[in-house]
Amino acid sequence: MMHSWRKALLGLVCSVFMAAPAFAASGDGEGDPAEGRVKFNTCMGCHGIDSYSNAYPRFKVPMLGGQHADYIIAALEAYASGEREHSTMHAQAASMSEQDYKDIAAFLAQPQP
């Protein structure tokens, strides 16, 4: 029996490969979902597990697939600046470029299976 997070990850990866050509970057500063898929791999450990809860402090980690791109970018910028507090997210977001934010947001904003 396949765990639900594995099914979700498999579905997400399959949808990216099928949809990536339709969402290819246009070179006008938009995000590239194919690049975003690669960059989001680090995030899958928490944000790709259905019903995952962090232990310290205890909270439910949100699934991000299907989220609006502008929200993802704003959240990453807020974590990087310290406006939103979470040490792991701060470290992740602060190490990324604005193009990384756009690529990840483009990947996550794609229609979900």
Q: Domain-by-domain residue ranges, the chain? A: 4-108
Summarised one tens digit per residue, pLDDT across range 76-99 is 999 999 999 988 899 999 999 999
Tell me the pLDDT tens digit for each residue of 8-37: 544 544 444 444 444 444 445 699 999 999
Return left, alpha or beta for 54; rule: phi > 0 is left, psi -120 to 50 is alpha, else beta: beta
Among the listed residues 44, 61, 58, 29, the one whose alpha carbon sits nearest the alpha carbon of residue 108: 44
Identify whether the C-beta of residue 51 lies closer than 8 Å to the C-beta of residue 61: no
* CATH assignment of 4-108, among 3.40.50.720, 1.10.760.10, 3.30.930.10, 1.20.210.10: 1.10.760.10
Q: List CB contacts of 44: < 8 A, sequence separation 6 or more.
A: 9
C-beta of residue 65 within 8 angstroms of C-beta of residue 12: yes
